[in-house]
Amino acid sequence: GEDVEQSLFLSVREGDSSVINCTYTDSSSTYLYWYKQEPGAGLQLLTYIFSNMDMKQDQRLTVLLNKKDKHLSLRIADTQTGDSAIYFCAETFSGTYKYIFGTGTRLKVLA
Amino acid sequence: DGGITQSPKYLFRKEGQNVTLSCEQNLNHDAMYWYRQDPGQGLRLIYYSQIVNDFQKGDIAEGYSVSREKKESFPLTVTSAQKNPTAFYLCASSIPTGGTEAFFGQGTRLTVV
């Protein structure tokens, strides 16, 4: 079945690393994404990973994928106040163009 | 500039009335989507369309209707049959190929008064 879960809140201090976690139940997903939503706005793609990869790094962002446990994480190094937002993981499947989104994690960065 | 535009940003509706939310894109994307966002529930798919004149129900299609007469446009009508329509509505578009980014509009906040 299609179900993507995230913890609702995360609070970190400025300069620390943030780790946002996501679990999914459908092992047939092909691509997994991380999106960022600022207040009152749409979603912007941060990064994505193909399901046959274990890790992807892009500047301050590191994505880890554990297919065995169906677990995806996003690590933000040196977290800044501008990183405060809601972060969504999402997945797509071969043969369909639906994006299934998680519940979103609200990250609050404390100065 | 290419992008996806939703209008209006804020919309108020009286109970019992239908209302239509606009979504236009100039990205030449075949696929378009409507999501509903409620606090703590993430994004839930209402309808999606992979090509002009074709669309499929998502997970929460009851009380909503769509049309896809033009590639650029995918309007969503919230009907009086939708029991709890107050929410933030997001439209998105993409190239219908795996691994590509879905581009989102800025959203419409609908409030029933």
* A1 confidence band (pLDDT: 50, 70, 90): very low
* B113 confidence band (pLDDT: 50, 70, 90): confident
**Separation in Å, CA of A77 to nearest CA in chain B:** 23
Q: A61-83, pLDDT tens digit by residue?
A: 999 999 999 999 999 999 999 99
* Residue in A41, A42, A103 closest to B42 by CB: A103
Q: B21-36, pLDDT tens digit by residue?
A: 999 999 999 999 999 9
Mean pLDDT, all residues of chain A:
91
* B19 confidence band (pLDDT: 50, 70, 90): very high
Nearest C-alpha neighbor of B17 from the set B87, B89, B113? B113
Phi-psi map region of B34: left, alpha, beta (phi>0 left; psi -120 to 50 alpha): beta
**Separation in Å, CA of B3 to nearest CA in chain A:** 12
Per-residue pLDDT at B98: 63
Q: Find the mean pLDDT for residues B74-86.
A: 94
pLDDT at B50 over 80: yes
Half-sphere exposure of A49 (CA within 13 A, CB side): 21
Per-residue pLDDT at B100: 76
**Separation of alpha carbons A93 and A98, rounded Å:** 7
- Which residues share a beta bridge with B111? B12
**Separation of alpha carbons A78 and A17, rounded Å:** 5
For chain A, the C-alpha Rg in angstroms (whole number) is 13
* A37 confidence band (pLDDT: 50, 70, 90): very high
**Separation in Å, CA of A102 to nearest CA in chain B:** 6
Hey, of A89, A98, A100, A105, which one would you mutate to test binding to chain B, going by the most B CBs within 10 A of its CB? A98
**Separation of alpha carbons A81 and B67, rounded Å:** 41
Count each helix (H run) and each strand (E run) in chain A, helices first: 0, 11
- Asked if residue A88 lies in contact with residue A44, where contact means CB atoms within 8 angstroms, the answer is no
Q: Which residues contact residue A69 at a Cβ distance below 8 angstroms, ignoring those fewer than 6 apart?
A: A23
